[in-house]
Amino acid sequence: MKQVNVGMVGYKFMGKAHSQAYRDVPMFFPDAPKPVMKAICGRDKSGVEQAAAQFGWESSITDWTELVNRDDIDVIDINAPSNVHKEIAIAAAKAGKHIFCEKPLALTLLDSREMLAAAEQAGVKHMVGFNYRFAPAVQLAKKLIDEGRLGTIYHFRAWFLQDWIVDPDFPLVWRLDKNIAGSGSHGDLGAHLIDLSHFLLGDMSEVIGMSETFIKERPMPSSMTGLSAKGSKDAPRGPVTVDDATLFLTRFEGGALGSFEATRFASGHRCTNSFEINGSKGSVKFDFERMNELQVYFTDDAADVQGFRRVLATDPAHAYMDAWWPPGHTIGYGQTFTHEVVELLRALSEDRQPVPNFHDGVKCQAVLGAVDRSIEERRWVSINEM
């Protein structure tokens, strides 16, 4: 397979990130099949036309059903809001298209299972967009754990902190509407933490959580894109129907304990996506705001030099970095999507399922749902109940 023709649904924040990834691949990863950006789809004709010209797509359309049925499309990339993921993905599977879908996979666990079933029945490849797995420093943490260099893992604590809706007059964007987004900080930010923990430590057995919506109503927006919006504080107000913050505790099947915090009300935190892992032989700490670094501690270091060391994950010894710049020259947020797309393209060429795929999306959705049930019923909930 020398090239893969891509059709994409969505053209804003994630649409731009995915488009950059497709454009990066031929320059930096020439061993992977070349992605051909055939068509981009969005409801607003002028908006999607502008995006096509800006991002480098061959054409634009406004009807996703037309896109999934085109004979010249191999992969359907879905990065539109969560409420349309299921319908588009199932239609794409029935049309024999491979699928790359942003997280969270669906609005509910049931919907995500139906998406997986449709993809499996159709025999197509499927991938879910958990891009933070693909930071080289996260890959290094995974390597240290898998090689036993941290010993028995005791703790996984993670937090994803943002502050973009702290202002009570910030407009009621779609991410604050449960019918469109499915959930708030829990499904948007917490999903990334959950997937990282699955990637690094394995499955969870049970959870208990709590959540809060601090601002109950917000002014309606006049326009919105990505994480920004315009509106007047004097505009009519509507209800916020998702969580502003969710915290939960968990037990992992391997015996480790975990704590998770996702909030959009942490003033001063733009995108603090972090975790710390403690084991019997050492620990690691990661903060995406310093995404090229992993803090590493080993208990067997000599007593006079013990302490966390900063490892700059930019050497060819680190995942993906031999394709980029000389050691010490860092990469950024966009490159996590490039690595994600490389995994997808290589999987298609090798006739295997990419990782993470819809199985991982369903597993994440089960934890999200278990935490929601725990909050509603005020008790520990087993993942097996879901």
pLDDT of residue 229: 82
Question: Residue 21 maps to which CATH number?
Answer: 3.40.50.720
Say if residue 161 is in the same domain as residue 122: no
Question: Residue 282 maps to which CATH number?
Answer: 3.30.360.10
Say if residue 114 is in the same domain as residue 147: no
pLDDT of residue 359: 98
Q: Would the CA dihedral through 137, 194, 102, 167 be positive or negative?
A: negative
For residues 355-366, average pLDDT: 98
Domain that holds residue 78: 3-129
Burial of 251 (0-12, 13-18, 19+ CB in 10 A): middle
pLDDT of residue 227: 77
Residue 259 forms part of a structural domain: yes
Question: Are residues 156 and 254 in contact, defined by beta-carbon separation less than 8 angstroms?
Answer: no
Say if residue 107 is in the same domain as residue 156: no
Given 113, 129, 145, the domain boundary residue is: 129
Residue 372 forms part of a structural domain: yes
Say if residue 101 is in the same domain as residue 187: no
Say if residue 152 is in the same domain as residue 259: yes
Scanning 227-357, the segments in alpha helix (DSSP H) are: 333-350
Residue 167 forms part of a structural domain: yes
- What would the pLDDT profile of 95-127 be if each residue is shown by its tens digit? 999 999 999 999 999 999 999 999 999 999 999
Say if residue 156 is in the same domain as residue 259: yes
Residue 337 forms part of a structural domain: no
Say if residue 245 is in the same domain as residue 191: yes
pLDDT of residue 222: 86
pLDDT over threshold 80, residue 224: no
- What would the pLDDT profile of 227-243 be if each residue is shown by its tens digit? 778 888 789 999 999 99
Residue 272 forms part of a structural domain: yes
- What would the pLDDT profile of 313-353 be if each residue is shown by its tens digit? 999 999 999 999 999 999 999 999 999 999 999 999 999 99
- What would the pLDDT profile of 67-85 be if each residue is shown by its tens digit? 999 999 999 999 999 999 9
pLDDT over threshold 80, residue 219: yes
Q: What is the pTM of this model?
A: 0.96
Q: What is the DSSP letter of 352?
A: S
SS3 content of the chain, % helix, strand, coil (to 5): 40, 25, 35
The closest alpha carbon to 93, from 82, 80, 78, 81, belongs to 78
Residue 355 forms part of a structural domain: no
Say if residue 305 is in the same domain as residue 272: yes
Spatial separation of the C-alpha atoms in residues 206 and 345, rounded to whole Å: 35
- What would the pLDDT profile of 26-67 be if each residue is shown by its tens digit? 999 999 999 999 999 999 999 999 999 999 999 999 999 999
pLDDT of residue 211: 98
Say if residue 231 is in the same domain as residue 317: yes
Spatial separation of the C-alpha atoms in residues 82 and 85, rounded to whole Å: 5
Say if residue 29 is in the same domain as residue 83: yes
Q: Percent of the chain, pLDDT > 70?
A: 100
Say if residue 181 is in the same domain as residue 105: no
Say if residue 18 is in the same domain as residue 122: yes
- What would the pLDDT profile of 327-336 be if each residue is shown by its tens digit? 999 999 999 9
Cα three-residue angle 82-87-92, rounded to 5 degrees: 115
| Structural domains of the chain, count | 2
For residues 143-168, average pLDDT: 98
What integer best gives the mean pLDDT of the chain? Answer: 97
Given 129, 154, 181, the domain boundary residue is: 129
Q: Which band of pLDDT confidence, cut at 50, 70 and 90, is reported for residue 265?
A: very high
* Structure-block tokens of residue 229: 């919006």
pLDDT of residue 23: 98
Spatial separation of the C-alpha atoms in residues 199 and 52, rounded to whole Å: 34
The torsion of the CA quartet 380, 141, 301, 278, rounded to 10 degrees, works out to -10
pLDDT of residue 188: 96
232 or 300, which is more confident: 300
Given 107, 129, 151, the domain boundary residue is: 129
Q: What is the DSSP letter of 29?
A: -
Residue 159 forms part of a structural domain: yes
The values of phi and psi at residue 102, to 5°, are -70, 160
* Structure-block tokens of residue 265: 């009300």
Question: Are residues 278 and 308 in contact, defined by beta-carbon separation less than 8 angstroms?
Answer: no
Residue 342 forms part of a structural domain: no
pLDDT of residue 31: 96
pLDDT over threshold 80, residue 289: yes
